[in-house]
Amino acid sequence: MQKRPKILVVGSFVMDLIVSTEKFPNSGETVLGKSFRTAPGGKGANQAVQAARLGADVTMVGKVGNDDFGRSLINSCKESGIHTEHIAVDPEVSSAVGNIILEVGEGKSAKNRIVVVPGANMTITPEDVAFLKDTIDQYDMVILQLEIPMQINEIVAKYAFDKNVPVMLNSAPSAPLSEELLSRLTYISPNEHEAADLTGIHIRKDGKLVNQNDAEAVVDSLLQKGVKNAVITLGSAGAVVANKNEFVYQPCIDVVEVKDPTAAGDSFVGAFTTGLCAGLSLSEALTFANYTATLTVSRMGAQPSLPYLDEVLDLMKKVGQFGFDFSRLDILKQS
């Protein structure tokens, strides 16, 4: 019997400090907020939790501070069934925090603004990940992001590439990427703004209509840099996945009220990679990821909003994805 997909996530932990308000303050302006709460997050941890909640066997590698936030961040991973033995604790630097302001108003989709203080995420060293050189071939997929030192991403991507393990880089937050790193990526997943930073090409949109010529030009540029597959999220306009032989565009799954877009991209990446590792095609994995992210934006918080497999499948069936072969995901239901 085929085993559950094994996914390695090397990335960040961030404790989110979330304020909601009816109006973003202008420079020098003070506004009254509506609520405050904390929630575990960080792109790496979010993607790991999403993959685990969808049924993947997930190991997380990263670093937190020796503080209450760090302990809470590790516990959140444990509660989702993630292997946490390779999460290091920095005794001198605090855990990362994210200052999230949500603009929420009656009849309006929520918008967010985020400032991250990276803390212990940026103290990961090559020695912390050296063990992966000999163990990385145990995994079906490696997921990386850009909230940890670029050197660490470069090292881990090389380890994986040398052992023929697929690598997904969620290229966020936006940063320049070396030719060596790009050439070792099986998948890259920027949003439209990060894709523009990487390629110099802006994907024009008219409401929810996407200029396909622009999208194809962005994909071509990324492929020319050595990436094998490009996955571009377009906000409310949907997402694209493409390689030199295939171009698939899917519109946004517009069936929920958007309450909080935080972690939507992480949810998408976690679901897309899990679907691929379970044996879905690029198009099927894109559908699976779109529905997963749709559920995420209908809830508040980062990790608290990330759905479980049954919830995603129920929504897909409810909305009418009758052509989707749900038996392809049975592997994710194994304990």
Residue 206 in any domain: the answer is yes
Residue with tokens 């990961």: 124
Question: Hey, what are 241's tokens?
Answer: 């996945």
Residue 31 in any domain: the answer is no
Q: How many residues comprise the chain?
A: 335
Please tell me whether residue 230 adopts helix, strand or coil conformation.
strand
pTM passes above 0.85: yes
DSSP string, 68-131: HHHHHHHHHHHHTT-B-TTEEEESSSPPPEEEEEEE--TTS--EEEEEEE-GGGGG--HHHHTT
- Per-residue pLDDT tens over the stretch 9-62: 999 999 989 899 998 999 999 999 999 999 899 999 999 999 999 999 999 999
Q: How far apart are CA 259 and CA 153, in angstroms?
A: 32
- Per-residue pLDDT tens over the stretch 292-329: 999 998 887 778 899 999 999 999 999 877 678 888 89
Per-residue CA distances from 251 to 26, 236, 237, 238, 300 (Å): 33, 8, 6, 4, 23
> Would residue 314 show up in a list of annotated catalytic residues for this protein?
no
Residue 203 in any domain: the answer is yes
Nearest to 5 by CA among 319, 309, 297: 309
Residue 27 in any domain: the answer is no
Residue with tokens 């703004």: 193
- Per-residue pLDDT tens over the stretch 72-125: 999 999 999 999 999 999 999 999 999 989 888 776 777 888 888 999 999 999
Residue 135 in any domain: the answer is yes
Q: How far apart are CA 205 and CA 238, in angstroms?
A: 11
Residue 207 in any domain: the answer is yes
Which CATH number belongs to the domain containing residue 145 in this structure? 3.40.1190.20
β-strands 167-169, 209-210: how paired? unpaired
Catalytic residue among 266, 310, 325, 330: 266
Residue 213 in any domain: the answer is yes
Note down the domain range covering 309. 6-13+43-95+121-333
In the chain, alpha helices (H):
43-53, 68-79, 126-129, 132-135, 150-162, 179-183, 192-199, 212-224, 264-277, 282-297, 309-319
Residue 159 in any domain: the answer is yes
Q: Please, are residues 192 and 233 in contact by the beta-carbon 8 Å criterion?
A: yes
Q: How would you classify residue 107: left for phi > 0, otherwise alpha for psi between -120 and 50, otherwise beta?
A: left
Domain count, the chain: 1
Q: How far apart are CA 173 and CA 92, in angstroms?
A: 25
What's the pLDDT at 253?
84
